[in-house]
């Protein structure tokens, strides 16, 4: 017969709290972390909650966390990666398309990382394709191997809802955006950054690139293979704004349901 375990206090275990069998003759107990996002972690739960609070408020530099939590560099890196994995699940694995009827989405491609020389060869950075909804500020950013229509149009169809008004520059690949699904307006950047007749511009998404590049400068020099996870983190910060901490808790609850 299955019994519902009850919360109890224990000495000598992490957090001092756990679950115990209500039957007096039974001495079984389990950690309060079992089945949760924190299962297997050997760090006090109070410190983990502090870390969750600091992370979305852009106070997550290694020096700051070491000073305030006393964690080592490897521990800090591991937990940053754990939280980025949550962002990847939402923005890359199961993305929610942005825009929709009545919404304007600016799109653009930009190269991340500086040119550098390695054994006589000049290495270029990584192309990233993205867009931002002017009204909601929802964004998407995806590393791409090229900027052909065969690459970009399927991403537009995946990340932008039908009925959206899409604004872009006059990059040739965008000529293939399906007119049946989207209204597409362009600005000729070789003449004007803002079209003097229609007012079309892509300055919002270009500004977003600037903020993302500044934030990810170290990522591109230390481990560019993790760029997609860092981009997902930027999208998270941009989407949730002042409600980042509460939405982080909700995302943990969604991805790690305790049953």
Burial class (CB in 10 A: 0-12, 13-18, 19+), 215: middle
Same domain, 108 and 20: no
Query: Buried b vs exposed e over 1-18: b needs ≥16 C-beta within 10 Å?
Result: eeeebeeeeeeeebeeeb
Q: Tell me if 81 is assigned to some domain.
A: no
Residue 232 is predicted with a pLDDT of: 92
Q: Tell me if 188 is assigned to some domain.
A: yes
Which residues in the chain come in under a pLDDT of 50? 118, 120-123
Same domain, 11 and 139: no
Helix (H, G, I), strand (E, B) or coil at 131: strand
Q: Tell me if 78 is assigned to some domain.
A: no
Q: Tell me if 44 is assigned to some domain.
A: no
Same domain, 142 and 235: yes
First vs last C-alpha separation in the chain: 18
Residue 1 is predicted with a pLDDT of: 54
Residue 93 is predicted with a pLDDT of: 87
Please tell me the distance from the alpha carbon of residue 158 to that of residue 174, in angstroms, as a whole number: 15
Q: Tell me if 168 is assigned to some domain.
A: yes
Total count of domains within the chain: 2
Q: Tell me if 192 is assigned to some domain.
A: yes
Same domain, 24 and 118: no
Q: Tell me if 59 is assigned to some domain.
A: no
Residue 99 is predicted with a pLDDT of: 97
Residue 97 is predicted with a pLDDT of: 95
Residue 216 is predicted with a pLDDT of: 82
Residue 140 is predicted with a pLDDT of: 95
Same domain, 130 and 244: yes
Residue 224 is predicted with a pLDDT of: 64
Residue 116 is predicted with a pLDDT of: 52
CATH label of the domain that carries residue 195: 3.30.420.10
Q: Tell me if 127 is assigned to some domain.
A: yes
The model's pTM is 0.80
Residue 11 belongs to domain spanning: 6-32
């Amino acid at each position: 017969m299955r019994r519902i375990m009850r919360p109890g206090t224990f000495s000598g275990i992490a957090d001092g709290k756990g679950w115990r069998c209500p039957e007096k003759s039974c001495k079984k107990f389990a950690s309060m972390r079992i089945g949760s996002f924190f299962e297997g972690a050997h760090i006090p739960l109070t410190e983990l909650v502090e870390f969750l609070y600091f992370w979305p408020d852009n106070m997550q530099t290694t020096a700051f966390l070491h000073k305030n939590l006393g964690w080592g560099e490897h521990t800090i890196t591991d937990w940053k990666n754990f939280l980025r994995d949550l962002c990847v699940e939402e923005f890359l694995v199961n993305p929610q398309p942005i825009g929709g009827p009545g919404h304007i989405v600016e799109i653009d491609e930009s190269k991340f990382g500086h040119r550098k020389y390695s054994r006589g060869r000049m290495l270029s950075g990584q192309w990233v394709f993205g867009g931002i909804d002017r009204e909601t500020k929802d964004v998407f950013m995806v590393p791409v191997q090229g900027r052909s229509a065969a690459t970009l149009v399927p991403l537009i169809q995946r990340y932008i809802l039908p009925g959206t008004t899409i604004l872009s520059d006059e990059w040739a690949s965008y000529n293939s955006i399906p007119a049946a699904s989207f209204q597409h307006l362009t600005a000729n950047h070789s003449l004007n950054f803002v079209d003097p007749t229609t007012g079309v511009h892509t300055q919002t998404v270009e500004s977003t690139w600037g903020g993302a590049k500044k934030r990810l400068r170290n990522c591109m020099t230390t481990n560019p293979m993790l760029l997609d996870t860092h981009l997902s983190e930027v999208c998270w910060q941009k989407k949730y704004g002042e409600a980042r901490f509460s939405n982080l808790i909700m995302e943990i609850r969604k991805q790690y349901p305790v049953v």
